[in-house]
């Protein structure tokens, strides 16, 4: 196959004697309004003709993507910069999720990343060859791999809509079935055993709020100004969480997480006792008492309790009490299950926990189902009442 006079594809001979086939084509308009002409060179004439025909066809349909050497890392940097409305904790999760892709092919042109590249990355993450964080060799969970794919697909989807890439190589990648292990929860007797163990604990009020089903960040972010002991309510208006190893204070996790809860009597009693205790501690420490930012959960000299310290303390008390090992967050699961056992309706439990979807609450947090009922505060007040309630005033 040879080119003819007037053929838009030209035959060129390189200095070393090799033959190439080259064409120049208008692929659109540049940002400055000028024509964007590109030169393409191929080893074979047939390849050059096929590529030129493809460009003309896609240009006519409006689906042509201009060649670009922008790397995946450069694009992801720009994409992340544009996500201005996400929380710092979510941003950190996104960045962690993208690490495997950045390390594997972030240095390559984004347009060159293929579906096979992504599939091989997934295989290596599942086999343990590639770790997102931690020690190499241990396979990553399906949930972790799915998070990487979800964020990466989102980034490629934006690029596809913008005409930066011709296809999304992440779309349609299949993962093995995720085996969901049910969370371990405490029953009412075990909750009472834990509370018996913390009867004289200085932070009894915090443990009671945890067992109301509040998230760790909600408990540690609660301020005295958020509590109305006269009306018997507390309002969740901020979160105190770990982001990249640093403690940060922000808004509640979701819109529905911002909520006002009626205080069960034992919790109100414990909060009043803690407030009196802190007044005595402030007086005793004098100038050494630090600025608390109005936070409720602080130590004896006014320093906010670190989230990991709070979780570690929960585990230590549980272990010493001979209770089944559960995560601090599983106390939230326990509360949901107990409420359902007591007959509280699913939508009521969802609202109490700060969820918008009761089906999500039931599927994710509730491990026992029962009849219909109401009165969450009264129900939990009954569950949390015991000898620790009488002792709260002495804490």
| pLDDT, tens only, 245-304 | 788 888 888 787 888 888 888 999 999 999 999 999 999 999 899 888 899 999 999 999
Structure confidence at residue 356 as a pLDDT band (50, 70, 90): low
- Residue 371 pLDDT: 33
Residue 5 lies in a domain: no
Looking at residues 74-88, what average pLDDT do you find?
A: 89
Q: Please give the mean pLDDT across all residues of the chain.
A: 82
234 and 275 fall within a common domain: yes
44 plus 89 within the same structural domain: no
pLDDT at 164: 79
Closest CA to 195 of 298, 306, 314: 314
376 and 351 in one domain? yes
- For residues 27-56, average pLDDT: 76
How far apart (Å, rounded) are the C-alpha atoms in residues 173 and 167?
13
State the average pLDDT over residues 47-69: 73
Q: Is 297 helix (H, G, I), strand (E, B) or coil?
A: coil
The answer to whether residue 288 is domain-embedded is yes
The answer to whether residue 38 scores a pLDDT higher than 60 is yes
pLDDT at 105 over 90: yes
210 and 123 both lie in a single domain: no
Mark whether 98 and 221 lie in a shared domain: no
Distance of alpha carbon 310 from alpha carbon 221, whole angstroms: 12
Residue 366 lies in a domain: yes
Closest CA to 94 of 153, 35, 26, 44: 153
In a domain, 199, yes or no: yes
| For residues 305-311, average pLDDT | 92
Query: Do residue 57 and residue 76 come from a single domain?
Result: no
Quick check: 355 pLDDT over 80? no
Residues contacting residue 219 through CB under 8 Å, at least 6 positions apart: 206, 209, 210, 297, 310
- Rounded Cα–Cα distance for residues 278 and 102 (Å): 49
Compute how many other C-beta atoms are within 10 angstroms of the C-beta atom of residue 108.
Answer: 15
Domain hosting 151: range is: 72-161
**What is the predicted pLDDT for the residue at 373?**
30
The helices-and-strands tally (H runs, E runs) of the chain is 15, 8
pLDDT value, residue 65: 64
For range 124-143, the mean pLDDT: 72
Query: Across 39-53, 64-78, 190-204, 339-353, which has the greatest mean pLDDT?
Result: 190-204
Please tell me the total count of domains within the chain. Answer: 3
Pair (282, 383) in one structural domain: yes
Please check whether residue 136 lies inside any domain of the structure.
Answer: yes
CATH number of the CATH domain containing 200: 1.10.443.10
Please tell me whether residues 336 and 210 are part of one structural domain: yes
> What confidence score (pLDDT) does residue 178 get?
66
Tell me whether residue 84 is in a domain: yes
Higher-scoring residue by pLDDT: 365, 53: 53
133 and 254 inside one domain: no
Same domain assignment for residues 269 and 342: yes
Cβ neighbour number for residue 66 with a 10 Å cutoff = 14
Q: What is the CATH number of the domain that holds 146?
A: 1.10.150.130
Is residue 390 pLDDT above 50, yes or no?
no
CB 241 within 8 A of CB 307: yes
Pair 219, 367 in one domain: yes
Tokens 């056992």 belong to residue: 341
Give, as one character, the DSSP assignment of residue 356.
S
pLDDT beyond 90 at 365:
no
Contacts 24+ apart (CB under 8 A), 116-124: 117/169, 118/149, 118/152, 118/169, 118/170, 118/173, 119/173, 122/149, 122/173, 122/175
Give the confidence band of 183 by pLDDT, cuts at 50, 70, 90. low
* Cβ atoms 374, 339 nearer than 8 A: no
Q: Is residue 258 included in any domain, yes or no? A: yes
Same domain, 146 and 241: no
Is the model's pLDDT at 204 over the cut of 80? yes
Q: Which residue has the tokens 């349909």?
A: 61
CB 62 within 8 A of CB 27: no
- With contact defined as beta carbons under 8 Å apart, do 106 and 80 qualify? no
Q: Is residue 2 part of a domain?
A: no
pLDDT recorded at residue 352? 82
């Amino acid at each position: 196959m040879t080119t003819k006079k007037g053929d838009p594809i030209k035959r060129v001979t390189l200095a070393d004697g090799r033959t190439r086939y080259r064409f120049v084509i208008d692929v659109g308009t540049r940002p400055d309004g000028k024509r964007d002409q590109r030169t393409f060179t191929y080893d074979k004439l047939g390849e050059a003709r096929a590529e030129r025909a493809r460009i003309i066809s896609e240009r006519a349909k409006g689906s042509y993507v201009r060649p670009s050497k922008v790397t995946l890392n450069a694009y992801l940097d720009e994409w992340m910069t544009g996500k201005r409305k996400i929380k710092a904790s979510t941003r950190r999760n996104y960045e962690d999720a993208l690490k495997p892709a950045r390390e594997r092919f972030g240095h390559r042109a984004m347009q060159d990343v293929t579906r096979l590249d992504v599939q091989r990355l997934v295989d290596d993450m599942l086999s343990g060859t590639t770790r997102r964080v931690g020690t190499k060799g241990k396979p990553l969970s399906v949930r972790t791999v799915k998070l990487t794919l979800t964020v990466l697909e989102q980034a490629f989807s934006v690029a596809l809509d913008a005409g930066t890439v011709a296809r999304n190589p992440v779309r349609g990648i299949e993962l093995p079935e995720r085996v969901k292990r049910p969370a371990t929860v405490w029953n009412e007797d075990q909750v009472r055993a834990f509370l018996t163990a913390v009867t004289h604990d200085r932070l009894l009020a915090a443990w009671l709020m945890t067992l109301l089903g509040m998230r760790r960040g909600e408990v540690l972010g609660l301020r005295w100004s958020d509590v109305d002991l006269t009306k018997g309510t507390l309002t969740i208006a901020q979160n105190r969480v770990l982001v990249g190893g640093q403690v940060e204070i922000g808004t509640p996790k979701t819109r529905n997480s911002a909520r006002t809860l009626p205080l069960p009597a034992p919790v109100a009693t414990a909060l009043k006792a803690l407030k009196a205790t802190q007044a005595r501690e402030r007086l005793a420490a004098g100038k050494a008492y630090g600025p608390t930012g109005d936070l409720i959960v602080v130590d004896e000299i006014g320093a906010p309790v670190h989230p990991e310290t709070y979780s570690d303390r929960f585990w230590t008390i549980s272990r010493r009490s001979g209770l089944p090992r559960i995560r601090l967050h599983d106390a939230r699961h326990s509360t949901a299950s107990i409420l359902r056992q007591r007959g509280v309706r699913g939508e009521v439990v969802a609202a109490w926990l700060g969820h918008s979807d009761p089906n999500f609450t039931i599927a994710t947090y509730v491990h026992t189902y029962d009849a219909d009922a109401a009165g969450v505060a009264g129900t939990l007040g009954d569950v949390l009442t015991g000898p620790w309630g009488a002792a709260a005033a002495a804490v």
